[in-house]
Chains A and B, each alone.
Chain A
């Protein structure tokens, strides 16, 4: 059965700290790994990592894919209170027939205190 695991499930830090969120997966026919930020309801897309793009960076956020270890990390440096959210990791699989197919992890709830 396909599985995406995230750790920690919950994290509390202070502004200015650096955090590392982890995602590991066991899926058949891996295609890409995605990170989303969920503040209120709708997850918003952060990064997509594939075999041809294993490292992405945007401002204070960066992410690396380790295909050998079947895992990924999301780093946030100099955290701000606005970074408080649930961070979801999802893995896209090559579909059996057609279309796209995603498996989500449970998310990491990050709380950044002032």
Chain B
């Protein structure tokens, strides 16, 4: 079974530039998550999709961050414009959500450096 795919793996940009990340979840997984993980901290949920609908985006800085999952499969997360404090690893995860408890599985992440 293929895992969660993410690209790019690394990205370096200057502040005020734009950047986009892509995620393809495990096949059949209804729920997709984007997390931001700053060095030394646990992952912080940015946005959660159930199929192509947003379940939770309460911690997404909507003035600069946006995300979509148009066909209920892969997803993109965009930052425009980037700030220095956006430097972090951006993790995508997916879960089956088969009606019972179950783990989420993570992609390799994208390390973003904003200069």
Chain A: residues with CB nearer than 8 A to chain B? 4, 31-32, 34, 36, 40-45, 48, 50, 88, 90, 92, 95, 97-102, 104-107
Contacts and interface: CB of A to CB of B under 8 A. Distances in A.
Given A99-B31, A101-B48, A107-B42, 13 more contacts: A41-B91, A43-B106, A48-B103, A50-B101, A99-B48, A99-B50, A99-B55, A99-B56, A99-B97, A100-B97, A100-B104, A102-B45, A102-B104
Nearest to B50: A99
B43 interface: yes
16 contacts: A32-B102, A41-B108, A42-B106, A42-B109, A43-B43, A44-B106, A45-B104, A48-B102, A92-B101, A98-B55, A100-B95, A102-B45, A102-B104, A104-B43, A106-B40, A107-B42
Interface of B: 4, 30-31, 33, 35, 40-45, 48, 50, 55-56, 89, 91, 95, 97, 101-109, 111
Given A41-B111, A42-B107, A42-B109, A100 B31 contact: yes
Nearest to A49: B101
B42 A48 contact: no
Contact of B42 (A50, A100, A101, A106): A106
Nearest to A106: B42
B97 to A, nearest CB: 5
Contacts of A4: 42
A102 B93 CA distance: 11
Nearest to A35: B103
B29 to A, nearest CB: 10
Nearest to A94: B101
A42 B91 contact: yes
B101 A101 contact: no
A104 B95 CA distance: 15
Contacts of B109: 41-42
